[in-house]
Structure 1
Amino acid sequence: MVTFDQALDKAIDAILHCYPDIQWSDIRLVRDMQGKLFVVLPDELVEDRSEMERLNEVLTGALQHYAGSASPAACLSDTLSGAELLKEPAIVYYRGDHAVHVIERRAMGENWLLEPGQPDLSHPPRFVFFSLKGGVGRSTALALWARQLCQEGKSVLVVDMDLEAPGLGAQLLEQSGKPLYGVADWLVEDLVGNPADSLVPDMAQQSPVVPAGLWVVPAFGSTTDQAPQNMLAKLARAYLEKPNSEGSQLFAQRLQRMLQALEYHYQPDVVLVDSRAGLHETVATTLLHLDAEVLCFAVDLEVTWQGYRYLFSHLTQLAQQKLQQGDWRDRFKMVSARAMPENFERFLDRSYGLWTDTLYDESSEEVGGLSFDVRDEAAPHYPLIIPRVDVFEAFEPCRDLRRMHEAQIAAVFGAFFSGLQSCLEASRDQN
């Protein structure tokens, strides 16, 4: 039996068997929503149709149920897309020296397949707080850094993108102080073609945890609280692509438009985004397509490292073409959450091993290469640290800050804030 993990290699072997000197740059392997494979060859390669028949025979035998059809190979001109197929987003799968372009047909869109674009200097600095699982203190760290920035005189916009487990709205706003609308409300209205930007003035409210400057956009606004039976129905539609006359607009593109509208209206100095946890399709947007610094929260557990290895191994397929300005991989930063001092060296070693095996290049001396020493504190793998302290377990700022001393916050989060300040200054220098 041929399995999913074997099918792509078997397809490549079949192609090499029939065309041993093939050039891979104009070859496309298309994997459909079930995982079945089709091979598309340039017309000039197929001078003899009997060669194509031979390839179809070999592919069908090699792939078994993963053959896209009885004839899984075709010429480019035989496809509905024609030459446009070569322009579609594709991951790059390396098989030895062969760089194979694979087009993924997916039920949930292409957000994980799009490489981040060039840096955009027109918006304020953005920071995304991400974790594979909840309960690591990600939202608490975001809320307290937002408060710290406001105390320094900055205006901060906080956006709760964790639509399935919303928390920041409840943490930073009183229940009676929520705005009318939230992220999900904007997304569902935009989907049907309503002027969603008209909601923006009613999407954020000032948090009471500081005198001024902290604007909070919840996942769902008070209109959803008044009709809670609609929440799951909204959620099911919020993530969808938006059809239009030019095809469709991906979730990443929709979220970018929403964030730009919020920034234009509220004019923040810094934007903090609380990402959904896990590896859902929508997480690709917050990690890759918001032009943001990404903080990857991790606890030193095998399940955490395994999850990040799944994520980074996929992202490796997007890191083949280096950007002209900077490198999106260098905007990721590990965070050792709920950390124990005696475990730091183990965390550092495991983080360095993860990055070395996946997103780092073999040498920084190659063109556009990304590589660091294990002890380089500026490197993505070198973690910012938040020690574990019981007083911050189940912490709710609106309820608990009034009994908290500033010295307690500084002792736990001071080093973390300092590290983020360096990232913020670097982002400002770039802008």
Structure 2
Amino acid sequence: MSAEKYLKTLDCHDAIRRALEYQKNLWVQYLALFPAPFNSLLFVRDWQGRIHVGVPGNKNFDKLPEALRPELQNAVAAVEKAIDVLLFEREGFFYSDDLYDARALWESVDRVLWDELDPLSVYWIERQTKEKIWVQSPVVSTVPHPLRVAFFGIKGGVGRSSALLASAYHLLAQGKKVLVLDADFESPGVSATLLAEELRPDYGLLDWFALDALRPDLATELISTRRLMERSGLDRIVSGEGTVWVAPSFGRETQDYVGKLGRLYQDVAEQGYVQRFGRLLKSLETELQPDVVLLDSRAGVDDTAAVALTQLDAHGLLFATHGRATWTAYGHLFKHWQSFAHLRAGGEDFRSKLHMVSALTPVDAAYDRAFLDASYSLFLDHLYEDLAADQMEGDGFNYGADDPDAPHRPWRVRWHDALRHFDPIQNPAQLDASVFEMAFGELTSLFDQLLGAGELDHE
């Protein structure tokens, strides 16, 4: 079975509805024999996407007149056929008489009424949990890979996606092959700007995770057939050897986005989200051979951001605007790293690849100074190492307030009204050289230096 057909079975609501309608009146007659809450069917979708059907009574349907029992057995077979590929030869149906506490399940606060089959009562329960990756020990990769840069903001609305788009454009103009992963799963947006509707691939990253939980071979097929990524419309603006490939969160054929999102962080075959995302990224890099990978992560303390910043050996761009709320939020994150991350002496860990970005920056020297001071205090309080009595500034992972190479030293993205709703594919005038340089010049300079493996220098 192909990945396409298999994905459709994960979104088999229509097939289930048709199977139930086949003998809907018989199901209604059977359920009427039971008092509430057992006068309903219960569909439980586990975290891997498999559907299990709960029926009151037992599989012999003892309460039903004997003449009608074969018909209900046929109805069960019809539903099982609709979800057959998800069962893996396991029992798809379970019965209340076989459960230790069936009432607790049938009265679960998580159940929601599926109102497509009135008057047949069918409830759905989604079994979803989410691990917390921020508590995992950060790692540094020893395997060669392209330059990886993660775009992160502790708060939304700071122009993070616009900066990523500008960076992709700059790298494209430099003749680089760029891969963009839209890993902002809760609020996907950058891929919509980089990919017009007609360019969007059939499937997205969430579809890969859904397949990987059940059929890893078909997840691999999505990448090898390039049905998970597509070239951006930016390629039409800039001529040359560069390309921008986009792996969006979702594609044209993606269904049940919210359901797949709820199962995103589950362990699969003893691999957590960290390992699974790493495999996904490595597979995409192997297929496309990019020079640079840009990762758009979720704003806030989200697991996708944790992976991008600490687990993938990526440079992390920390977007911020100067304000108490922003620095307080970053303080919570940095305190967590300080307490739980296994930080290595001398900064031989993810800290050395962090870069603060002053977003939406006004042309105001006083603002620049205030931002720098607040950023320095943040790093000094939580991530910089204390100096011993015999050490000098610069020994270990420690920097002076005005050190141009320090992680706390901001790369400024200047605000310009002409870049409001930045979408150069639809509005190429936003790529006016003088405006673009004024707004994104420092940020693009950072990329040039990272690619050149030179010393970082803000001046």
Q: 1:373 aligns with which of 379, 400, 408?
A: 400
Cα pair distance change 1:374/1:306, threshold 3 Å:
same
Say if 2:435 is the partner of 1:411. Answer: no
Match in the other structure for 2:250: 220
Secondary structure (helix, strand or coil) at the match of 2:425 reads helix
Q: 1:281 aligns with which of 299, 303, 326?
A: 303
Structure 1 residues 226-249: Cα deviation after superposition (integer angstroms, max 9, x where no partner) = x4xx1111211122221x2xxx21
Match in the other structure for 1:75: none
Match in the other structure for 1:235: 261
Structure 1 residues 169-199: Cα deviation after superposition (integer angstroms, max 9, x where no partner) = 1101111110111111111111123421111
Q: Matches of 2:307 and 2:395 in 1, distance apart?
A: 24
Secondary structure (helix, strand or coil) at the match of 1:295 reads strand
Shift in Å, 1:207: 0.9
- Contact 1:129–1:295 under 8 Å retained in 2: yes
Matching residue's letter, 1:231: Y
Match in the other structure for 2:229: 204
Matching residue's letter, 2:401: V
Cα pair distance change 1:240/1:221, threshold 3 Å:
same
- Contact 1:363–1:370 under 8 Å retained in 2: no
Match in the other structure for 1:149: 171
Shift in Å, 1:412: 1.2
1:78-93 correspondence to structure 2 within 5 Å:
none
Shift in Å, 1:109: 2.6
1:127-206 correspondence to structure 2 within 5 Å:
127-195=149-217, 196-200=219-223, 201-206=226-231
Shift in Å, 1:210: 2.5
Of stretches 249-258 and 317-326 in structure 1, the one that deviates more from structure 2 is: 317-326
- Contact 2:183–2:249 under 8 Å retained in 1: yes
Matching residue's letter, 2:286: Y
* 5+ long unaligned stretches in structure 2: 1-128, 237-241
Match in the other structure for 1:94: none
Matching residue's letter, 1:426: A
Shift in Å, 1:320: 4.9
Match in the other structure for 1:390: 417
Match in the other structure for 1:346: 370
Secondary structure (helix, strand or coil) at the match of 1:282 reads helix
Q: Matches of 1:341 and 1:403 in 2, distance apart?
A: 19
Secondary structure (helix, strand or coil) at the match of 1:209 reads helix
Match in the other structure for 2:101: none
- Contact 1:172–1:397 under 8 Å retained in 2: no
- Contact 1:182–1:217 under 8 Å retained in 2: yes
Match in the other structure for 1:18: none
Shift in Å, 1:363: 2.0
Structure 1 residues 24-76: Cα deviation after superposition (integer angstroms, max 9, x where no partner) = xxxxxxxxxxxxxxxxxxxxxxxxxxxxxxxxxxxxxxxxxxxxxxxxxxxxx
Q: Matches of 1:333 and 1:118 in 2, distance apart?
A: 17
- Contact 1:296–1:335 under 8 Å retained in 2: yes
So what's the TM-score if we normalise by structure 1? Answer: 0.69
Q: Matches of 1:289 and 1:327 in 2, distance apart?
A: 10
The number of residues matched between the two structures is: 315
- Contact 2:334–2:383 under 8 Å retained in 1: yes
Structure 1 residues 341-365: Cα deviation after superposition (integer angstroms, max 9, x where no partner) = 3200000000000111000111284
Matching residue's letter, 1:401: P
Q: Matches of 1:321 and 1:277 in 2, distance apart?
A: 23
Q: Matches of 1:323 and 1:187 in 2, distance apart?
A: 35
- Contact 1:375–1:382 under 8 Å retained in 2: yes
RMSD: 2.3
1:65-80 correspondence to structure 2 within 5 Å:
none
Matching residue's letter, 2:232: S
Q: Matches of 1:328 and 1:126 in 2, distance apart?
A: 12
- Contact 1:118–1:323 under 8 Å retained in 2: no
* 5+ long unaligned stretches in structure 1: 1-106
So what's the TM-score if we normalise by structure 2? Answer: 0.65
Matching residue's letter, 1:205: E
Shift in Å, 1:368: 7.8
Cα pair distance change 1:186/1:313, threshold 3 Å:
same
| Identical amino acids, percent of aligned pairs | 36
Matching residue's letter, 2:234: V
Q: Matches of 1:119 and 1:323 in 2, distance apart?
A: 17
Cα pair distance change 1:417/1:310, threshold 3 Å:
same
Say if 2:379 is the partner of 1:355. Answer: yes
- Contact 1:151–1:210 under 8 Å retained in 2: no
Say if 2:423 is the partner of 1:400. Answer: no
Secondary structure (helix, strand or coil) at the match of 1:166 reads coil
- Contact 1:386–1:413 under 8 Å retained in 2: yes
Cα pair distance change 1:408/1:324, threshold 3 Å:
closer
- Contact 1:209–1:401 under 8 Å retained in 2: no
Q: Matches of 1:318 and 1:378 in 2, distance apart?
A: 26
Secondary structure (helix, strand or coil) at the match of 2:406 reads coil
Of stretches 257-266 and 177-186 in structure 1, the one that deviates more from structure 2 is: 177-186
Of stretches 260-269 and 201-210 in structure 1, the one that deviates more from structure 2 is: 201-210
Secondary structure (helix, strand or coil) at the match of 2:453 reads helix
Matching residue's letter, 1:215: W
Q: Matches of 1:416 and 1:286 in 2, distance apart?
A: 19
Shift in Å, 1:402: 4.7
Shift in Å, 1:121: 3.9
- Contact 2:423–2:430 under 8 Å retained in 1: no
Shift in Å, 1:119: 3.2
Shift in Å, 1:321: 4.4
Say if 2:145 is the partner of 1:115. Answer: no
